[in-house]
Chain A
């Protein structure tokens, strides 16, 4: 299930399974530091093994896969775009992923500016003049892609690591 060879992606939400049963004492929450420990060590190894560009691509694709499944699992019953944004904001806040806000939304054109404050990946990191939230780019791309049924390009334009206090993403429907 988890370690078999595969040509196609096989992730299923059921793989997350029953956390309540598995962690009756510690519960579903954990430290952001642990998340970052995993993310940055993984990035570290991926960059060493495959280089920065390929590591970025893997992060983006993983985030996109997560976004797609997240949308199917969490936002499936949302009707119009407004309802979806409310639910998305609420869920990201409840899961403590970040404070998501829409700055601009041109639904007809499929063009959006989205910010995430207190982002799980980068908030508080040193300023290095790099945008590092590649996983988030993929995550938003996956969500928008599933919701609108069209692929989306998402690019991080501002990041804590570029000296900003929020991460800002430009999303655009492809084609």
Chain B
């Protein structure tokens, strides 16, 4: 018969009382001389239970704070093993969540009961939402691209009828004010015998011809840093020096005029219809501004325009007639043929020159 002192049983009772009431508990101790009997064995099991229960309890407390990175020792107590499994599952879920947060919606959670269902459902909905947003983003990007293309078209269209600076003003402020340009050079060309020839041509052919010629002129004008203002029938009006960035406006437009004559001459060699132009150039002050509200037309006004027109009228087929003002602006960069003073309607005598070519030592 095993005999145990009452005080030892009391300590055992107190230990479980404290444990069940959430109080700190210390392991039971037996003196070394205590016999190796069933009670010592019982105390050994109780102390092992306390150790593993304490580890479980501390682990649970850590877990309840949301901390997953803690080590649990090895123990055979069921609740300790279950806690370890729970910790492992939560670590796995955390990792899965990180993967999904990184955009990997293929991740799934298996064999975790209701949690798997909820988690996988959440992932599926996230993927669907993400795909929907991506689809909307793509549609938005497509729409932006479409708008960008349309804007490019409208900008190009605007630039066809307005100078860059004026178009920019209209786009940013919605309005533009007339401007005086003190020192620009104006080119006027006119097709020789157009009226006579046009009466013999089919309208479509006539327009096609004009379109081809003026398209060629436009490219030349643009290439030489000048601005096409308008065409009036077979007449073509361009200005150089209005953009403020052209110090050689007279040279630019003279080069353009020479190139236009060469372009037409080259075209005539291969074309059934042969066209010739008269060109006139004058330098001076002009006023530029937009005329109209709905159908914008940019136009230039002033005596310089009229004089350039007179220069053209006093020119000859495939020749470029310039005024004294333009000659002064050109300096000695071009070979010129002086024509003396010619009578100009409303202005009296004006000195004029034909431009032959740019001098080679001043070639661009």
Residue on B nearest A101 in the bound complex, by CB? B92
CB neighbours (8 Å) of B75 from chain A are 163
CB neighbours (8 Å) of A83 from chain B are 104, 106
CB neighbours (8 Å) of B108 from chain A are 86, 89
Give the interface residue-count category, chain A. Answer: 20 to 34
CB neighbours (8 Å) of A129 from chain B are 74
B269 within 8 A of A: no
Residue on A nearest B68 in the bound complex, by CB? A103
Whether the Cβ atoms of B88 and A99 lie closer than 8 Å is no
CB neighbours (8 Å) of B99 from chain A are 82, 85
Give 1 or 0 for each of B71-112: 1 = CB within 8 Å of chain A CB.
Answer: 000111000011011001101100110010010101110110
Closest beta carbon of chain B to A96's beta carbon, Å? 12
CB neighbours (8 Å) of B95 from chain A are 101-105
From A80, A115, A163, A168, name the one whose CB has the most chain B CB atoms within 10 angstroms. A163
Q: How many A-B residue pairs have CB under 8 A?
A: 59
CB neighbours (8 Å) of A45 from chain B are none
From A86, A89, A164, name the one whose CB has the most chain B CB atoms within 10 angstroms. A164
> If the complex has contacts A82-B102, A162-B74, A164-B74, are A101 and B107 also in contact, measured as CB distance less than 8 A?
no
Whether the Cβ atoms of B76 and A163 lie closer than 8 Å is yes
> If the complex has contacts A93-B110, A127-B76, are A103 and B81 also in contact, measured as CB distance less than 8 A?
no
* Cα–Cα distance between A156 and B77 once the two chains are bound (Å): 21
Q: Identify the B interface with A (CB < 8 A).
A: 74-76, 81-82, 84-85, 88-89, 91-92, 95-96, 99, 102, 104, 106-108, 110-111
* Cα–Cα distance between A52 and B108 once the two chains are bound (Å): 39
Whether the Cβ atoms of A89 and B88 lie closer than 8 Å is no
> If the complex has contacts A99-B111, A101-B92, are A158 and B106 also in contact, measured as CB distance less than 8 A?
no
Closest beta carbon of chain B to A126's beta carbon, Å? 11
CB neighbours (8 Å) of A93 from chain B are 110
* Cα–Cα distance between A166 and B88 once the two chains are bound (Å): 8
CB neighbours (8 Å) of B84 from chain A are 158, 164-166
A58 within 8 A of B: no
Q: Identify the A interface with B (CB < 8 A).
A: 80, 82-83, 85-86, 89, 93, 99, 101-105, 113, 115, 117, 127, 129, 158, 162-166, 168
CB neighbours (8 Å) of A113 from chain B are 91
CB neighbours (8 Å) of A101 from chain B are 88-89, 92, 95
Whether the Cβ atoms of A86 and B74 lie closer than 8 Å is no
B82 CB contact (under 8 Å) in A103, A117, A162, A165: A165
> If the complex has contacts A163-B74, A164-B81, are A102 and B92 also in contact, measured as CB distance less than 8 A?
yes
Residue on B nearest A129 in the bound complex, by CB? B74
Residue on B nearest A93 in the bound complex, by CB? B110
CB neighbours (8 Å) of A105 from chain B are 95
Whether the Cβ atoms of A103 and B91 lie closer than 8 Å is yes
* Cα–Cα distance between A162 and B75 once the two chains are bound (Å): 8
CB neighbours (8 Å) of A89 from chain B are 108, 110
CB neighbours (8 Å) of A86 from chain B are 104, 106-108
CB neighbours (8 Å) of A115 from chain B are 88, 92
Residue on B nearest A168 in the bound complex, by CB? B88
Closest beta carbon of chain B to A168's beta carbon, Å? 7
CB neighbours (8 Å) of A85 from chain B are 99, 107
CB neighbours (8 Å) of A103 from chain B are 88, 91-92, 95
* Cα–Cα distance between A99 and B108 once the two chains are bound (Å): 12
